[in-house]
Structure 1
């Protein structure tokens, strides 16, 4: 590790970095931490943050006291955050030469903090490594560009492009519609290249001013880090061009939701062979078990894929999003799609995670479901041919409340995930939900004010 820290020191000095943003991801996926002068960062080689940072809600509130003191020291002690030399990125939009360094979190005894999202993903990856396997993932991130708006009571509006006009209608895969925002995306690509992000293609998605960025396939932890950085980068590029980028799962009424589709496969660490395929190119039993695990356990872990009240609006009928965990080959109407590919590239695409999900937790959960399927030899249902939206046998929980209750009561998960993490995550989401229920919506004002 010391040699890697030496490499980090050289990297910062070579680029004349004057400030370092020291980051961790909270449960929501918000980047929290400290900004440090480079000389101070190099002297301390880490930082301390209150443990309570990991139990903050999206509004900055905290869970109820009884849960808080069950999971954390009542003295609100610090955790120790150490930089990962393999998770260092430039901040190209900063005025001064600045770097962002993602940190891992430990207690004072050096044990990984159990409720840290990055540690949860590392825990799942170790399960694979202990079997001699390595997961390979390729995320696809959907998001909307919108006009900037200071009033959260007003609906989002499509932004004005280079033509001086707002986009109207559905423009799936339109090159011209994507080119309306060329200056923005040129900055985004330049900044991502400077950061070493493994971007592949940009496409215009189905929604009005909805875009999708695909990442090249690679190692799961590195891709989760890249998504955290990409979200920050995309928002900054949009602001520079006087628009906003949102990764909400369902930001606009009547428009499709935004997903974080996850392509996943598994290779043998010794041979590099894709274990999802037999030597004759057919689907392996491990592949079918992996799909079986996704089908059985995604509904139990749904809050990690759909973490907000808004997330469940994406699963409403006729919203272009899957509403079940059926699977099928080359079928985008089911939750688990198997793309047509050669045997070495055989994979399953989990189409259920929303763009609002924490990337560490969504990737960890998706890989964990498949892992349990393989070790417990679970059998999948028959693959769906044709339209899968109406299939009701493998439906998902319909609300965040129901999903949290299901996750909390699934004792099988305690074999694989820390009970402390499950308790903490559910508590944070329930605190957010209670906060949400305190807000009176425009629908209530419009339809109930003079009618009841």
Structure 2
């Protein structure tokens, strides 16, 4: 009996949600009775879902004619026995199982975000290195919103009142939503998610969940599952949980901060620290690679038009790739820690980023720095918000243009993945530009 079959029998599972992550991070797939799932040992899905936009649209055929089979054939989806989780909110005993995707020849499909992360992890394994990551997920709780033209509002807590003002790290403000978080924690425990701490963030009804450090692929799976879990827990309590990067005007954005370190696969020692506790040359090169390449692949961390609203001035988010020790105004922060825990925090990814893609991109930038011996700038002292030497692209359009020209990254991620990703994001951007906003109606309708 294999691991999946044993899990399904132990939990008396009657339905299986077979899922893969698309480029946006949406879980797509099929729901099957357990008997059918076990008899087929997987599923088939159209290749084209990997080029589906967040609006449900597809890239034009003349753009991706050579990225996927023109007949829109099926890809073969195989379950990963390390990617099986319960669905605690389901009425019937249900499991969700993450699948990997392959072509008809059994080769991993390049457009798959999960396959892309696996490719980057193999680069590290070939060097005898093992990355560790710890995501920090920020999100907002809001009132249910049925009209997308209306701004989001803070939800009503146990006191019967809406939260007002900034409540950073307030225990009482977080406790306003105790019943919701009790369900969330119970469900995450049932799924075996490696949650660490819950804090109230700076924004009104903005929260943060931290994960314990671990294997990047396992943590990316967990973030995918957690986002589904958090949204379901919120719906049960008649509120909404959103991972938009900038959901509310004049409130801070939501990030997916990524703590990352590298250990020697044989010795288990942290290669970012010297024996005396100082930063190793490899660590400095890792930082140099982040500084050099993050501006070239920013759409992998900030994938949506809304993502770039988080980078506006005075939004509490870093707008550069400066680095510093214990400096949260820099895009790259080195927390004060013991030598074995020496790590870098990448503060640039948004909560809306696909976890597989963001983790892979972050590790790739650091990897290129180490293998190419890229030296970092001097660490920044004081506030880095106003520094302009290492600023990021200001819009999704300009960021996509820079990514399109970065041959170093394309040579590793693959030309097909980069072309497909950029094409999908341009489709989404064009759809966005067709919508007339409330700002335009308010200030232009009777004024121009």
Same fold (TM over 0.5): yes
Q: Distance in 2 between matches of 1:151 and 1:7?
A: 45
**Does 2:318 correspond to 1:309?**
no
> What residue in structure 2 maps to residue 19 of structure 1?
15
Secondary structure of 1:143's aligned partner? strand
Quote the Cα distance in structure 2 between the aligned partners of 1:450 and 1:444: 10
The separation in 2 between residues aligned to 1:185 and 1:266, in whole angstroms, is: 32
> Matched residue of 2:413: which SS?
coil
2:66 aligned to which of 70, 74, 88: 70
Structure 2 distance, partners of 1:64, 1:296, is 32
Distance in 1 (alpha carbons) for counterparts of 2:125 and 2:394: 35
* Aligned pairs (5 A) from 1:83-162: 83-162=79-158
Whole-angstrom CA distance in 2 between matches of 1:51 and 1:300: 27
Structure 2 SS opposite 1:264:
strand
Structure 1 position 272 matched with structure 2 position 268: yes
Q: Which residue of 2 aligns with 1:372?
A: 368
Secondary structure at the aligned position of 1:434 is classed as helix
* TM-score of the aligned structures, taking structure 1 as reference length: 0.99
Displacement of 1:154 in angstroms is 0.2
Output one character per residue of 1:303-349: Cα deviation in whole Å (capped at 9) or x when no partner: 00000000000000000000000000000000000000000000000
Matched, 1:289 2:316: no
- Confirm or deny that 1:346 pairs with 2:342: yes
What are the superposed Cα offsets for residues 375-425 of structure 1, whole Å, 9 maximum, x if unpaired?
A: 000000000111110110000000000000000111111221110000000
1:28 aligns with 2:33: no
Matches within 5 A, 1:169-188: 169-188=165-184
Query: CA-to-partner distance for each residue in 1:215-242, whole Å, 9 max, x for gaps?
Result: 0000000000000000000000000000
- SS of the residue corresponding to residue 310 of structure 1 reads helix
Residue 221 (structure 2) pairs with residue 225 (structure 1): yes
**371, 384, 387: which one pairs with 1:388?**
384
Unpaired runs of 5+ residues, structure 1, are: none
Per-residue CA deviation, residues 178-220 of structure 1 (Å, 9 max, x unaligned), is 0000000000000000000000000000000000000000000
Counterpart check, 1:404 vs 2:400 = yes
1:422 matches 2:415:
no
In the alignment, the residues of structure 2 paired with residue 418 and residue 41 of structure 1 have an alpha-carbon distance, to the nearest angstrom, of: 32
5 Å-filtered alignment, 1:310-325, equals: 310-325=306-321
SS of the residue 1:111 aligns to? coil
- CA distance in structure 1 between the aligned counterparts of 2:256 and 2:162, rounded to whole angstroms: 26
Q: Secondary structure at the match of 2:328?
A: coil
2:120 and 2:7 map into 1 onto residues whose CA distance is 30
SS of 1:218's equivalent? coil
**Are 1:450 and 2:441 an aligned pair?**
no
TM-score by length of 2: 1.00
Deviant stretches of 4+, over 2 Å: none
Report how far residue 21 of structure 1 moved.
0.2
Structure 2 CA distance, aligned partners of 1:68 and 1:344?
46
What are the ranges of 5 or more consecutive residues in structure 2 without an aligned counterpart? none
In structure 2, which of residues 332, 345, 350 is the aligned counterpart of residue 336 of structure 1?
332
Distance 1:46 1:422 in 2: 27
The DSSP-based 3-state class of the residue aligned with 1:283 is coil
Distance 1:328 1:279 in 2: 21
Cα distance in structure 2, aligned partners of 1:161 and 1:178: 9
Distance 1:355 1:118 in 2: 18
RMSD across aligned positions (CA): 0.6
Distance 1:179 1:257 in 2: 22
Deviation of 1:68 after TM superposition, in Å, equals 2.6
